[in-house]
Chains A and B, each alone.
Chain A
């Protein structure tokens, strides 16, 4: 899926803007599809990627406002992907939310240290996903 609003790219770094563009990085095709549909139903424009490298390739063009990132992925796991994403100048401040089934206490610590905005635990309720994502966005870029 391609971003249908390329003209908004320039403005999306403004944190005051409402959340519109979300990238999903998930290697499991079924989950990827479900997340895409669920967020689409919430009115977001969603870019789905099947792997870390794909996300790294797509993100600089899209400049998403928030990235939902799976942790256990082949080739490059979520943590490595996040590290590489942070190296991209345009993506330095983007909110990254891990979306994973790997949620032991030590893992959660790692995620926070890596600078993740939040962690969504699998399994999640797809109907609540837009609300969760919105609340994370509000918390970090809330209009105060």
Chain B
């Protein structure tokens, strides 16, 4: 539904968020990405630290083995030197056995360390060489021992033994060199392993610090991200609620049956809803920017005082009259001032309800009550007066005069009774509580009966009813009593308005699917000025002066209602002073 907006919509203020929605989302996404990176990085570092730990443990193992090997080597070398002194080949052989054992263990340890970096083992050939040398030395020593044994037994010469000793000593010297080199290599390896382990420990330490830092950052980032999300969610909810409120307000504005409008303090319309536009009888867009004063009355001066009241007291309620395209509408209007924090009136909100119908029906009702009161008082005045005179000053009057006065009282009393009946009928019909006892009737019989009933009344006016044409068996579905009431009303009216000696013709015809009863008189007819309102309540033509006293002014109104309630219609054709025909038409009864 369209709405008039000449200013920024006052119902939709800018959202008061800490950041605009797009930026908020971007910030939140960045926060989550960073958090992910931190967690990933932390994981990487944790793995690194763990790997370094494992490697350090392995290298430690290698170093331990190498140290054991070094010791075993020294152990083996010592007996080797001793051998050269006392030729203790047994000790040499035992030392060799121990070394061999240690060597195999160290070799196993080295193999079990799968760190290729350290298993290229530059010292490995040296160990091999040592092994070979140790083997050679052992062989030489054993050989020397055999030679010495042979010489002791006398089977060998000293010179041969000496040659063996020399060879052993040479081998021993070579062995020393090899030992020295092997020890250096192993020492280097151990040193490099120590360095490597120091490096690993340092790395582990540094990484641990980094890890602690990273974990702290990650924790903080997580907390902030969660807080950010919470706030964003809260703002979003808040905004959604606000928008929902606005949507509902707009819905009320657009769809309420009450007219709602907003004006500036001078009364210029800023915005109005469809209901308001409908009341004003113009399109919504035509209302914008116009002075309420253009539509609303009372006069400009009075509406100025209305604005005065709104500005000073903040609220005003009352009736405004709008002259829109649909005519004059009465609007019950509440005006409420909207103030800024300084207390100045910035705009004015109006809610208005069209009470035109209510008012006109109230006016009709008031008019009816006024008429009823007047109509009842008139015969009552005559009746009371006549009786009052007889009672008060009866003895001043002749018998004849007294009787005259009493007749006047009786006549007016009857009229009063008839009026009350008619008023009750009208009232019941208008409230929709007049019961109709509809049944299958022969209209011709009802007409004949009505004519009979009114004969004496007609004769008072010297009028004769003449039933011209009556179709027999004209069947209708109607309330017999009420039908007689309506026909009697037409017959008595005809008699009343006929000149003395005149004939009133009654005719009942059967048309296509309706029965039509016409009552024709030769009276003055219906004044053209009066025709439009002849069926209205208390409508009596003023020119029919002489007969006015005898009617309630309700007969035709009641007849019209009764006939229409039974699906028929009532009407008249009048040619003044020639003839006037009042007719009623009722639907013929059908078997279905």
Contact = CB atoms under 8 A, between A and B. Distances in A.
Contacts of B591: none
Dominant secondary structure at the A interface: loop
Interface in B350-393: 370, 373-374, 377-378, 380-386, 388-389, 392-393
B386 A125 contact: no
Nearest to A107: B370
A30 B373 contact: no
B370 A104 contact: yes
A74 B373 contact: no
A31 B381 contact: yes
A124 B408 contact: no
A36 B65 CA distance: 157
Interface string B223-262: 0000000000000000000000000000000000000000
Nearest to B386: A34
Nearest to A38: B389
A72 B545 CA distance: 12
Given A28-B549, A126-B388, A126-B392, A72 B374 contact: yes
Given A30-B411, A34-B389, A101-B374, A123 B384 contact: yes
B370 A123 contact: no
A102 B389 contact: no
Interface string A16-53: 00000000000111110111011001000000000100
B393 A27 contact: no
B396 to A, nearest CB: 7
Interface in A98-115: 101-102, 104
B385 A74 contact: no
Contacts of A104: 370
Contact of B385 (A27, A29, A31, A75): A31
Given A38-B389, A101-B374, A30 B382 contact: yes
A78 B393 CA distance: 30
A127 interface: yes
A139 interface: no
A133 to B, nearest CB: 14
Interface string A62-75: 00000000001011
Nearest to B411: A30
A122 interface: yes
Given A28-B549, A127-B392, A102 B385 contact: no
A33 B408 contact: yes
Contacts of A124: 381, 384-385
A67 B380 CA distance: 22
A125 B408 contact: no
Contact of A126 (B373, B385, B411): B385
Given A28-B378, A30-B411, A101-B378, A125 B543 contact: no
Contacts of A41: 389, 393, 396
B408 A123 contact: no
B384 A28 contact: no
Contacts of B549: 28-30
B412 interface: yes
A27 B545 CA distance: 8
A123 B380 contact: yes
B389 A37 contact: yes
B542 interface: yes
B378 A31 contact: yes
B396 A123 contact: no
Contact of A123 (B377, B545, B548): B377
A34 B408 contact: yes
B392 A102 contact: no
A74 B545 CA distance: 7
A43 B376 CA distance: 30
Contacts of A122: 377-378, 380-381
Nearest to A122: B381
A55 to B, nearest CB: 15
Contacts of B385: 30-31, 34-35, 38, 123-124, 126
Nearest to A72: B374
A35 B386 CA distance: 9
Given A74-B542, A101-B373, A28 B382 contact: yes
Interface of A: 27-31, 33-35, 37-38, 41, 51, 72, 74-75, 101-102, 104, 122-127
